[in-house]
Chain A
Amino acid sequence: MADVAQMLTPADLRKIANLQVLARLVVEGFCSGLHTSPHKGFSVEFREHRQYVQGDEIRRLDWKVFGKTDRLYIREYEEETNLRATLLVDVSGSMNYAGSGVSKYTYAIHLAACLAYLMLRQQDSVGLVTFDQKLRQHIPPRSRPSHLQVLLDALQGTQPGGETEIASVFHQLVPKIHRRGLLIIFSDCFGDVSELLTALAHFRHAHHEIIIFQIWDPDELEFPFQQWTRFDSLEHETQQRLIDPVQLRSIYMENLARFRKELKDGCHRHRIDLVPMLTNQPYAEALAYYLARRTKTV
């Protein structure tokens, strides 16, 4: 069983605790609570009973239970659960690249765990989807605090491998996520940009809010190789290229820039938040930065 403390260092937790993830769109029906509901302290959905302890408000006593059992119980309600977030983590082979630091995959699950923890603390419900060329695992959203452990176990349990086919996976996924909510994608997004955008548009069509954490290794952005190198593909074993990186660097950079631009423009067009993340970037900090920005925009 994965230990929460192993993935979320106390320092990370301290930084994130003061920030709130805010949904940009208010999901209809569950919009009370911390976010926009005026009914503070009240809830619609009964959650559980617990014994009265000194200091609890008297008005929150369940008099019916007192009448039946002659014991004092407090009624507790489900509060402010109005965000359904699904974390979509790419576990294809390409996520396995690790330059000098952690691999993109490790970084992605760390980031996902952080977010899951954060959102569950806010009583939001969080689900998880892992995929490579096909859907690997699908855990529907729950808001119970204990659900965190389920999610972390699932994340920890996967191993990266296989090819990336984000687009087809996403198309499959659309009908499986019934209620609209927030989709948080952790992927390098490698592959065909237009297909990916089509799939994302499909999600948007179902009124989902999308945030993409695009995970980059610094090597991929800077291409710092100097001597002759054979690049072996992480996804296709047979794919190899022997090149002089110094020669090819400008071409690589051109291709990279074009890819990033296409993706960025596409995301902007569909009102999708695209957040590039570097694996050497302290993920907690990057996350905090992002959430702060998100707060401002709402």
Chain B
Amino acid sequence: MTFLNAILLFGLAAAAIPLIIHLLHRSRFRVVKWAAMQFLEIHQRTQRRRIRIEQLLLLLIRCLIPAVLALLMARPVLTGLRALLGAAKTSTVVLLDNSYSMDIGTKNRNTFTEARDAAGQLIRHLGRGSEVSVVLMGGVPAPLLDEPTFNTDRAARELAALQTGYGSANVPAALDLGLGILGKMHEVQRELILVSDFQKISWRERDDVERARLAGLLKKLPINPTVTFMHVGREDRNNVSVQSLDFSRMLLGVGQKFQVRANLKNHGDAAYGDLRVYFRVDGTERAAAQLALGPNEAGQVLFTHTFETAGSHVIEVNADAPDALKSDNSLLASVPVLEKLPVLIINGKPGREPLEGETDFLEIALRPFQNAKGNLTDLITTRVIEPHQMDASVFKDVRVAVLANVAQLQEHQLKALEAFVKAGGGLLIFPGSRVDTAWWNRAFAAEGRGLLPCPLAALEGGLEDNAAHSTVLMQHFEHPALQIFNDPRNGDLSTANIRLWYKLNTAAFQALEKQTGSISNAWKNSASNAVPFVLARLSTGDPFLVERGYGEGSVVLCGVPCSAEWSNLPMRPCYLPLLQQLVTYLAAKFDPPRNVEIGRPLVAVLPAALGGKQVELSDPAGRKVKLDVTAGGGRALAHFADTRRPGLYILALPDQTLLHFVVNAARAESDLAQLSSDEIAGVAKPFDATVVRSWDEYRQLEQRRRYGRDFWRPLLWTLLGLIFAELWLQQRIGRIKR
């Protein structure tokens, strides 16, 4: 504790004044000749004691009044520990929420600019020589500057240039990062300031444990930072967002009908009677629809489009709603349109008669329109070869290869096939009557290092009518290739009668280690590891379809042949969608996804010829970045990791071809409900954080922390209390009991 007017502390001597007055009065008495002496006697001991106590108390209060007054005028200031530390240099980490919910307001004056300006003020007002780091909380939290800087001006400049719209805020990750940075900073006084709109969705209860852990971590830091939560912006729940786009196809060819289903949600309490929803392709409006959305209602709009040209296209669904947050009113998607999807079929048992060959049904299923002579177009083109025709050259431009009832392959043929899959190709394997099981299990499976996802164990069932037959087990399919069958209108796999099948030993390679990750593993699902994944099972429990990743590509093995020799599967309506789905799935895996979530890397597969060269990527803000193209595995890859900003990224190849990538933010952020002040106080509590609403409030708080708290107010109350107590006591002493 210090005093601003320490000299006035001499006033404490005034405490003696009442005592002196008392003694003075006692010595200067007057004399009265008195008759009623008998009433002056104090008869009871309690009376005597009471008088003495009251007298002492009164004297004490009277002495205290000038003492407190002197103290008050000396302006005491409670400073605590920080005053001892003295220096105004601090290490400060500012966690700035730049999620897209901060976009509420007009373009020039929204919650984010408020937060950004507050953070800027804060950095500019740090003491000379202070160290600062700014962490942006949106999407994948990342520091604004690579290292904490002592150059606060530079940090403030960088901050001022910031834009919002960086996905949804990840509070625990940002706090984690902030604490990590704070731990490495140098100054003795440390501060952690979190500037956010405290959206409910960013402070979910399920993160409580994580936040509690971080709070524990914070307390364990060698120097405890002062934590401040700055709540910016006002709640305005009136918001409509385009939540997601669903596509009817995984792969799209020129001339094919393409359906986009847009899911919209109204997060607020306002109703939209005729919400206009626009559908744009490559920036041109192609369709519009009207939708009524009540409060908190979700709705869907369906758009259909046919692409005339192959290549990369961008579609956009835009809801024209007069709501608080505009940035989630439209959703983009990149749609690669293929000219053709070439599939190579290796037929191990060609037939002479129609539909007698092993792959005849397969061909029809993959190219239904061509055979039907309809005016619709097939995406898939097929080329059928026999095993002896197979060499490395046949895989040129092929995206998926189908191996049907092939007895065995030559050494060089196997190598070529392995190279094809390793480079990202898809392989679909059907067994059959000609299969050389011994070779398959030895060379083709190769102890788990080969292409075959799992060894063939034995033939099950029988061709006889009285043998135990099987069907495909209908269940809820999680695999993207089979999800279509979750809707019974798309066909029922269980209608096929399977008489003879290969039991697949999926347990064989379970023990193998997971494949070490390559760049593109990030966008693959669980099938990318070495353990075979069972897509569907037969009613006997044996696997029907098994998938396993191999290199950049993927292999799907079926326990049943694709011909009608062992089962009537090819005769069933479900056969066509099944094959179409499997092939397009495998082909789609050939390309890394064009629509990714924030923070996920963008990977582009480019012609091998571009290996070692550079391509140019422009981000949503229009900035251009040169990317190095790395060659490997028969193709070239361009890789871009800094996708914190959602929007359209355009990769321009040297031959002027454009590849579009869309980075989308999770739409959970569109629910603009904010935490109430009580709830904010609740989340602030584990961190011992002080909650402020503005930069001014923070400055006052900081002033108090740094220079201590003015203590005059409680002292004034004490003084008033003493005066009242004195009055009361005096009244009480002079009071007559009746």
Contacts of B31 in A (CB 8 A): 229-230, 232
Question: Is B35's CB within 8 Å of the partner chain A?
Answer: yes
Contacts of B737 in A (CB 8 A): 250, 253-254, 257
Contacts of B734 in A (CB 8 A): 246, 249-250
Complex: chain B residue closest to A223, CB-CB: B39
Question: Is A143's CB within 8 Å of the partner chain B?
Answer: no
Instruction: Tell me, rounded to whole Å, the shortest Cβ–Cβ distance linking A240 to chain B.
Output: 9
Contacts of B29 in A (CB 8 A): 227-230, 242
A96 lies within 8 A of B38 (CB): no
Query: If the complex has contacts A242-B29, A251-B47, A252-B39, are A231 and B34 also in contact, measured as CB distance less than 8 A?
Result: yes
Rounded to whole angstroms, the CA-CA distance of A85 and B181 in the bound complex is 111
Question: Is B160's CB within 8 Å of the partner chain A?
Answer: no
Complex: chain B residue closest to A248, CB-CB: B40
Question: Is A130's CB within 8 Å of the partner chain B?
Answer: no
Question: Is A293's CB within 8 Å of the partner chain B?
Answer: no
**Residue picked from B26, B30, B40, most chain A C-beta under 10 Å:** B40
B32 lies within 8 A of A230 (CB): yes
Question: Is A233's CB within 8 Å of the partner chain B?
Answer: yes
Rounded to whole angstroms, the CA-CA distance of A252 and B51 in the bound complex is 12
Question: Is A190's CB within 8 Å of the partner chain B?
Answer: yes
Contacts of A188 in B (CB 8 A): 35-36
B736 lies within 8 A of A253 (CB): yes
Complex: chain B residue closest to A222, CB-CB: B736
**Interface residue count for A (Cβ, 8 Å)?**
39
Question: Is B507's CB within 8 Å of the partner chain A?
Answer: no
Complex: chain B residue closest to A192, CB-CB: B38
Complex: chain A residue closest to B737, CB-CB: A254
Question: Is A220's CB within 8 Å of the partner chain B?
Answer: yes
Query: If the complex has contacts A250-B733, A252-B39, are A227 and B34 also in contact, measured as CB distance less than 8 A?
Result: no
Contacts of A32 in B (CB 8 A): none
Q: Would you list which residues of chain A between 222 and 263 have a CB under 8 Å from chain B?
A: 225, 227-235, 239, 241-244, 246-257, 259
Rounded to whole angstroms, the CA-CA distance of A231 and B31 in the bound complex is 6
Q: Would you list which residues of chain B between 32 and 59 have a CB under 8 Å from chain A?
A: 32-43, 47, 51, 54-55
A97 lies within 8 A of B40 (CB): no
Instruction: Tell me, rounded to whole Å, the shortest Cβ–Cβ distance linking B21 to chain A.
Output: 11
Complex: chain B residue closest to A95, CB-CB: B35
Contacts of B26 in A (CB 8 A): 228, 242, 244
Query: If the complex has contacts A227-B30, A229-B29, A246-B733, are A251 and B42 also in contact, measured as CB distance less than 8 A?
Result: yes
A231 lies within 8 A of B40 (CB): yes
Question: Is A84's CB within 8 Å of the partner chain B?
Answer: no
Question: Is B489's CB within 8 Å of the partner chain A?
Answer: no
Q: Would you list which residues of chain B between 695 and 738 have a CB under 8 Å from chain A?
A: 730, 733-738
Rounded to whole angstroms, the CA-CA distance of A190 and B38 in the bound complex is 8
**Residue picked from B29, B39, B41, most chain A C-beta under 10 Å:** B39
Rounded to whole angstroms, the CA-CA distance of A249 and B40 in the bound complex is 9
Question: Is A82's CB within 8 Å of the partner chain B?
Answer: no
Partner of B41, one of A230, A246, A255: A255
Contacts of B47 in A (CB 8 A): 251
Contacts of B204 in A (CB 8 A): none
Contacts of B184 in A (CB 8 A): none
Rounded to whole angstroms, the CA-CA distance of A234 and B33 in the bound complex is 6
Question: Is B25's CB within 8 Å of the partner chain A?
Answer: yes
B38 lies within 8 A of A255 (CB): yes
Question: Is B28's CB within 8 Å of the partner chain A?
Answer: yes
Contacts of A95 in B (CB 8 A): 35
A250 lies within 8 A of B735 (CB): yes
Rounded to whole angstroms, the CA-CA distance of A104 and B34 in the bound complex is 12
Rounded to whole angstroms, the CA-CA distance of A241 and B41 in the bound complex is 9
**Residue picked from A97, A251, A254, most chain B C-beta under 10 Å:** A251
B35 lies within 8 A of A220 (CB): yes
Question: Is A122's CB within 8 Å of the partner chain B?
Answer: no
Instruction: Tell me, rounded to whole Å, the shortest Cβ–Cβ distance linking B579 to chain A.
Output: 110
Q: Would you list which residues of chain A between 191 and 228 have a CB under 8 Å from chain B?
A: 191, 217, 220, 225, 227-228
A243 lies within 8 A of B733 (CB): no
Question: Is A86's CB within 8 Å of the partner chain B?
Answer: no
B736 lies within 8 A of A97 (CB): no
Complex: chain A residue closest to B37, CB-CB: A233
B34 lies within 8 A of A233 (CB): yes
Instruction: Tell me, rounded to whole Å, the shortest Cβ–Cβ distance linking B47 to chain A.
Output: 6
Taken residue by residue from 3 to 34, chain B's Cβ proximity to chain A (1 for < 8 Å, 0 otherwise) reads as: 00000000000000000000001101111111
Partner of A255, one of B28, B39, B730, B735: B39
Question: Is A94's CB within 8 Å of the partner chain B?
Answer: yes
Complex: chain A residue closest to B38, CB-CB: A190
B40 lies within 8 A of A252 (CB): yes
Rounded to whole angstroms, the CA-CA distance of A32 and B35 in the bound complex is 44
B36 lies within 8 A of A96 (CB): no
Rounded to whole angstroms, the CA-CA distance of A233 and B47 in the bound complex is 23
Contacts of B33 in A (CB 8 A): 96-97, 232-234
Partner of A228, one of B25, B43, B55: B25
Query: If the complex has contacts A227-B30, A250-B736, are A259 and B38 also in contact, measured as CB distance less than 8 A?
Result: yes
> Sorted from nearest, which 10 A-B pairs have the closest CB atoms?
A94-B35, A228-B29, A253-B736, A97-B35, A231-B34, A255-B39, A230-B31, A233-B37, A220-B36, A256-B39
Interface residues of A (CB under 8 A from B): 93-97, 104, 188, 190-191, 217, 220, 225, 227-235, 239, 241-244, 246-257, 259
| Sample (21) of A-B pairs whose CB atoms are under 8 Å apart | A97-B36, A190-B35, A220-B39, A227-B28, A227-B30, A230-B31, A233-B33, A234-B33, A234-B34, A234-B35, A241-B37, A244-B26, A246-B730, A246-B734, A247-B733, A248-B51, A250-B737, A254-B737, A255-B38, A257-B737, A257-B738
Interface residues of B (CB under 8 A from A): 25-26, 28-43, 47, 51, 54-55, 730, 733-738
